[in-house]
Structure 1
């Protein structure tokens, strides 16, 4: 029987996915030129290369990572090589997704891991090859404490094969966020390589988002969200105990909520940077014009009144007001719950 993950699509997850769609719509309402998109992609790669390696203990600060990626120096320390490897793999995946060449299979998985650990492992045979030995996940703060025992090496190829088959067969059938989230956690749990599992998984998660149809996947860094609270990330993505004791009861529901939160958080971060970067006023969407029409007819509008005429979430409605205030089309009056919005005087 094929592997099928267990998860529930909660109201929270549905709301977050809807807000991600709304945030993508907001981003696309900015008339981004190819130059703007290229700049955002570079910034996202810098942030991802920094955050994903930082999660694994790399001490280089973001400023040093940005400098390193710009200079591309040849004689590098291991900490620098780790960052350069990640950036190179990310660029390769972006290109493959955009050209339609990206294929999620074992060969690709091994290729990305090889790129990630190139020049960093003592045993070359462990580069680009599934592990042939057992591994144990220990508590980084208490090295004697075993947190998780992944599946036996003899089972890795089948488990990965089942996972990849599930993802590939459900592209265009299941929401990209759910699909990428399932891959992310299950791949980390299987732990197919001796080293480079987390970085390889996060890289391929980005590619899956793009292949499965998430717009603008290349201009944000969900790794940044994880790096801000690494302990929470490890707790959310992993398991405790022995894999074989957990596998029948493993549920992805809470992880998917956390995974979606990370994408939404990053999209909102990117959105805040756009006016300063593009220098252009964004196009107004129908929901923005809805606010302006209401104010024109009634003289003012409150959060509650907007909620009564709109299906958008509370967080998105707040962003709508913020955007119109920033564009100086409306202004806020009153304070707290008594806040209402009126037409700004030119």
Structure 2
């Protein structure tokens, strides 16, 4: 294996080492909080949409996260995407789903990488590829970059070397550097004619799952895309700095990656505190929903009860929805029809709040923005309606 896949020498007192140790401390705190796994799963579903929008936004897609939340359920139900931009986002979501249903212990392979590419570019025009799921058979250049990727003749061999590196078993304190270097080397190889950025971010997400971030329920939301979306220009500059494959450039890139991931983990650890999640995120989002006119005060009170219970039956909502059972059923049916409540898998008489769908999901996003949780790349997004 070439020396481009050796971890660079790092000064023990450097910021990179400090960030790596902080990540391990934060990772040790995952899974020990008070937020129910069901609520974390709902938030993960919401974060999946956010990450997909960010990945597409990095490539120039201007679909807002609010529009994506409103439109994605229709696509999921079988309707065709209304635009190429929306399809790009739903393709990235499909890539995340594909990774999430793959055993994280399985090696990363050529087949997996090519399938991620096929999923990512499927049916696209502006951001598609004439040979989905196939490594490039032509020479390419990268817009705005001085780096010239290897000739297509060497792509398969280069990817084999990268995958050998990506599948190494690494000690815990080196796993973040491992993922960072693999991400850069993927982009450096540029194995596809188009879609390399989107696939590289999915590939790195798969690496993080292999490195232990899939072991705690609800924490699949650890996704490097948030790091890149928080500073798009810095992302490209840090990648460019590593293109000469020097230890100095590689360390600079790794520091960018690890610093951003540590920041994202800090916020995820905070999501373990159910009191924080309710008081600072979900209750204010429900209040925003009510202020917008999308829910009544009684419905808002019922939703707050439902979130705290996790799963409810109609009788559990009586304190917020007094009156006859039939009146309560009418209100519940209305909430279900609007996508605010959904049926739980336990049966048709069990309900839970949907945090990951419009309209409530859009207000959760607004509250995440107010808390400073949204990457800067989404800061200019505005919902179509009042928020």
Q: Same fold (TM over 0.5)?
A: yes
User: Is the 1:13–1:260 contact (alpha carbons within 8 Å) kept by the matching residues of 2?
Assistant: yes
Counterpart of 2:37 in structure 1 is: 34
Counterpart of 1:128 in structure 2 is: 133
* Counterparts of 1:250 and 1:132, CA distance in 2: 32
Match of 1:80 among 86, 90, 95: 86
Q: How many angstroms does 1:223 deviate by?
A: 1.3
Counterpart of 2:21 in structure 1 is: 18
Match of 1:91 among 97, 112, 118: 97
The 3 A distance-change label for structure 1 pair 175 and 43 is farther
The 3 A distance-change label for structure 1 pair 21 and 124 is closer
- TM-score w.r.t. length of structure 1: 0.70
The 3-state SS of whatever aligns with 2:201 is helix
The 3 A distance-change label for structure 1 pair 126 and 32 is same
Please give the residue correspondences for 1:298-337 in structure 2 after superposition, counting only pairs within 5 Å.
none
Q: How many angstroms does 1:278 deviate by?
A: 5.3
Residue 135 (structure 2) pairs with residue 138 (structure 1): no
* Counterparts of 1:5 and 1:70, CA distance in 2: 44
Match of 1:53 among 32, 48, 56: 56
Is the deviation greater in 224-233 or in 106-115? 224-233
Please give the residue correspondences for 1:174-323 in structure 2 after superposition, counting only pairs within 5 Å.
175-214=174-213, 216=216, 218-238=220-240, 246-247=244-245, 251-273=249-271, 274-276=273-275, 279=278
* Counterparts of 2:72 and 2:9, CA distance in 1: 41
User: Is the 2:165–2:182 contact (alpha carbons within 8 Å) kept by the matching residues of 1?
Assistant: no
Question: Structure 1 or 2: larger strand share?
Answer: 1
* Counterparts of 2:25 and 2:71, CA distance in 1: 35
Residue 10 (structure 2) pairs with residue 9 (structure 1): yes
Counterpart of 1:116 in structure 2 is: 120
User: Is the 2:241–2:253 contact (alpha carbons within 8 Å) kept by the matching residues of 1?
Assistant: no
Deviation by residue 1:255-312 (Cα, 9 ceiling, x = unmatched): 11111111111112233444357559xxxxxxxxxxxxxxxxxxxxxxxxxxxxxxxx
Residue 67 (structure 2) pairs with residue 64 (structure 1): yes
Deviation by residue 1:14-67 (Cα, 9 ceiling, x = unmatched): 211221122233342313433023112212201110111100000011111222
* Counterparts of 2:211 and 2:103, CA distance in 1: 10
Structure 1 unaligned spans of 5+: 140-145, 281-346
The 3 A distance-change label for structure 1 pair 247 and 13 is closer
Structure 2 unaligned spans of 5+: 280-387
Deviation by residue 1:199-221 (Cα, 9 ceiling, x = unmatched): 10100101111112235551233
